Amino acid sequence: MVNKERVKELSAKIKEEIISIRRHLHAHPELSFQEIETAKFISSKLSAWNIEHQTGIGGNGIVALIKGRNPGKKTIALRADMDALPITEKNEVEYKSQHNGIMHACGHDVHSASLLGTAKILNDLKNEFEGTIKLIFQPAEEKLPGGASIMINDGVLENPKPDVIIAQHVFTPLHVGTAGFRPGKYMASADEIYITVKGKGGHAADPALVINPIFIAARLLSELEELMQQLSTSEIPTVLNFGKVIGAGATNVIPDEVTIDGTLRTLDEAWRETVHHNLKELIQNFSEKDKTIVLLRMDKGYPCLINDKVITSEARSFAEDYLGKENVKDLDIRMASEDFAFFSQAIPACFYRIGTGNPEKNITSGVHTPVFNIDEDALEISTGLMAWIALNLLLN
């Protein structure tokens, strides 16, 4: 068995190279389903290191295999996402995004660079472990239906089928040098809610001749707020919220319709279906009571992300060994969503957080902001930690 000092030595050796890779990816972000150059760049690195891989899996996805001795014994999959967000970067750094309006504001550049580093470490050690490491570079985490589901449909979990899948995600609230784990339910499902309230437009000075959908929408929003309050007191964490209301009228123009867009999030799949039913029922009852047409569309998004309790407990113990027990933290549940949940539905999974924040360096901004960044010291830690977890999972 490889000892952790060897892994730490290898991760330290490639630190500057992985930082350089991360900076290249950060400077050249691509949106979901458009990660063509990103995939080419990652493929070029795998080829340079003689790591067997396939491209074009589930669109722009890449799957690589590192085969140790007795490769059929066990397979551990490691996943990183590759896509960026439609955000204009405000960081003034030498590796600032060169693509206006597109930014790696969720750390997927970090995830991909880190997984490349882990790949290089494990490839150097392939004669010293038994089993196979399957590397998954996934497109389109940020946009429905999610690259994970597309890659799964394209056979990413076959030939060979992984026994376990692991992923990590940047986390500014955790200081660099730490990691966080949570067994069981961790991240929420996410559904998009689209409501259209129909009225009859016309001149605002002729109220008898119009049916104002803005007033109807206001009454509906009041009832939706009551439902939201009921759901928030449930024993199962649930969020029903609305962030966009559009009535394309003017001071003297009543619109024909109003649209209301929102989100539904929860941590239980059965309860999720119950809330869907409650929402449909509310809309139907409101339409009948108000004698108006209200259309509801629910786009089902990512499922709940559930970490396998046994695998997560094991991964946490390996992290405590690698980082020190004091540097491994408990995570709270999160109502954000993540399409890694599709993998967690298919095979035992562990999705953990890697500390990337550092107040001493003024690195405190959260993801999905134009000033998000990381302490790049985290890359040495993340590459080695994932390699160490993977090596130990191959043994168990």
Strands 61-67, 52-57: pairing is antiparallel
Q: Enter the tokens of residue 212.
A: 């104002």
Rg (CA), the chain: 24
The per-residue pLDDT for range 229-275, each reduced to its tens digit, is: 888 777 899 999 999 999 999 999 999 999 999 999 999 999 999 99
CA–CA separation, 134 vs 40, rounded Å?
18
Higher pLDDT, 396 or 149: 149
**Could you give the residue numbers annotated as active site?**
83, 141
pLDDT > 70 fraction of the chain, expressed in percent and rounded? 100
Read off the pLDDT of residues 211-226 as tens digits, 9 standing for 90 and up. Answer: 999 999 999 999 999 9
Q: Please, which pLDDT band fits residue 178 given cuts at 50, 70 and 90?
A: very high
Contact 26, 95 (CB under 8 A): yes
pTM of the model: 0.94
> Left (φ > 0), alpha (ψ -120 to 50) or beta: where does 141 sit?
alpha
- pLDDT band at 124; cut points 50, 70, 90: very high
> Following CA atoms 281, 282, 285, 291 in sequence, which dihedral angle do they give, to the nearest 10 degrees?
-130
**Which residue type does 308 have?**
D
Question: What domains can you pick out in the chain, each with its CATH number?
Answer: 4-186+303-395 (3.40.630.10), 191-299 (3.30.70.360)
Average pLDDT, the chain: 97
The predicted pLDDT at position 53 comes to: 99
Instruction: Give Cα separations from 79 to 16, 17, 68 (angstroms).
Output: 22, 20, 19
Provide the pLDDT confidence category of residue 2 given band limits of 50, 70 and 90: confident
Q: Is the pLDDT of residue 1 over 80?
A: no
Using CA atoms, how far apart are residues 107 and 329, in angstroms rounded to an integer?
A: 20
pLDDT tens-digit series, residues 79-90: 999 999 999 999
What would the pLDDT profile of 282-320 be if each residue is shown by its tens digit? 999 999 999 999 999 999 999 999 999 999 999 999 999
Determine what percent of the chain is predicted with pLDDT higher than 90. 97
Task: Please name the helix (run of DSSP H) or strand (run of DSSP E) that holds residue 124, with its range, or none.
Answer: helix 108-124
**Taking residues 20-32, what's their average pLDDT?**
99
Q: Give one DSSP letter per residue of 166-201, joined into a string.
A: EEEEEEEEEETT-EEE--EEEE---EEEEEEEE-B-
